[in-house]
Copies of this chain bind each other. A is one copy, B any other.
Amino acid sequence: MIFGTQNVRTFALMFIVLAYLMFGAAVFDALESKEEARLRTAMRIRMARILYKNDTIQNDTIFHMLTTTIFEHRHVRTGTAKQWTFPGAFYFSTLVVTLIGYGHTTPKTIGGKIFCMVYTVAGVPLNLIMFQSAGERLNAIISFVLSRIKRLLGFRHHKVSGFELIAVEFGMTTMLVLGGSFVFCKQEKWSYFESIYYSFVTFWTIGFGDFVPLANMQRTGQSLYSRWGYFIFTVSFILFGLAIMASSLNLLVLRLAQFHSESDTGGMSALLS
C-alpha cells in the first residue's frame, strides 16, 4: 500500500514543496539580510533624534512622532539577532505559499519584493496541488482505518460515508488545535483562548499577525537555531493543520465536481447532500 502510485506521487509533491521552500529561504535570506541591519540603525537614529530634545511624551506631537516612527518600522526587528536567517526565511516562504502572510517579516528590498511575487505565482499552485494530493491520501487512510474499526466492532456496513470522513477530520482538527494550544501557551505566554484564536486565524489562512509564534524571538534577539525544536513544531503544526483543512475541502470540491458534471443548477444542494 505504501508504494502505491498515489502515495509515491504525494510524497514526491511533498518533497518538491520542501525543496521549493528551502530554495525560497536561501534567496530571501540572501536578498534581505543586509537591508535588515540598515533599517534597524535608521529606526534607532530617528527615535534618538525625537527624544534628544524631548524628555517627555505628554506632548501629543511627540507621542505621534514616536509611535509613527516605530509603526513604520513595525516589520523591522529591534533585537540583536537577525530575522532573515535561513530558518526565518524558510518560515516566511511557508507563510507565502500557504497564503497566510502574517506580515511579521516582509521583504524590504525591491529585489526581495520582486522575487516574492514570482515566488508566489509558482509556489501557491504547487502547494495547492500538494495539499490536494495529501488531503486525498489522508481521506484514503482515514477511510481505511475507519472501515477496519467498523469491521472490528461488528457493523454490517463497512463502507465509510463522506459525512463520517468530514466528522473524523473535524475531530482531528479540534484535537490538533486543543493540543497545539498547550504548546503555544507555554512557549509564547499566550492565554489558552488566545492560542485557540491564533490557530483558527491561521488554519483559515487569514493570518492577521496579531499572534505569531516565534515572532517575539525573531524580533527581540533569540536565534531560531537555538529554538529549532519549537521552530519545527510550529511549521509542522501549520502545514499539518492546513493539510487536514485541505482534506475536508477536497471532499467538498469532489462533490462540487460531481455536481458540475451532472447538472447546471443547485450548487448549494450538491454541497449539502
Q: If the complex has contacts A48-B58, A257-B261, are A99 and B205 also in contact, measured as CB distance less than 8 A?
A: yes
- Docked-complex contact B63 and A55, CB < 8 angstroms: no
Which residues of chain B are near A64, meaning CB under 8 Å? Answer: 78-79, 220
Which residues of chain B are near A113, meaning CB under 8 Å? Answer: 193-194, 197
The interface size of chain A toward B, counting residues with CB under 8 Å, comes to 61
Q: Give the distance to chain B from A113, nearest Cβ to Cβ, in Å.
A: 5
- Docked-complex contact A103 and B102, CB < 8 angstroms: yes
For the complex, give the distance between the alpha carbons of A5 and B265 in Å.
Answer: 10
- Docked-complex contact A57 and B63, CB < 8 angstroms: no
**A68 within 8 Å of B by Cβ?**
yes
Of all chain B residues, which has the CB nearest A211?
B106
Which residues of chain B are near A129, meaning CB under 8 Å? Answer: 267-268
Q: If the complex has contacts A63-B78, A113-B197, A261-B257, are A205 and B205 also in contact, measured as CB distance less than 8 A?
A: yes
Q: Give the distance to chain B from A17, nearest Cβ to Cβ, in Å.
A: 15
- Docked-complex contact B56 and A52, CB < 8 angstroms: yes
Of all chain B residues, which has the CB nearest A50?
B57
- Docked-complex contact B47 and A51, CB < 8 angstroms: no
* Chain B proximity mask over A176-208: 1 for CB below 8 Å, otherwise 0: 000000000000000001100100110011111
**Which among B51, B101, B256 is the interface contact of A57 at CB below 8 angstroms?**
B51
The residues of A with any CB-CB pair to B shorter than 8 Å are 5, 43-44, 47-48, 51-52, 55-58, 63-64, 66-68, 70-71, 74-75, 78-79, 96, 99-103, 106, 110, 113, 116-117, 120, 124, 129, 132, 193-194, 197, 200-201, 204-210, 219-220, 253-254, 256-258, 260-261, 265, 267-268
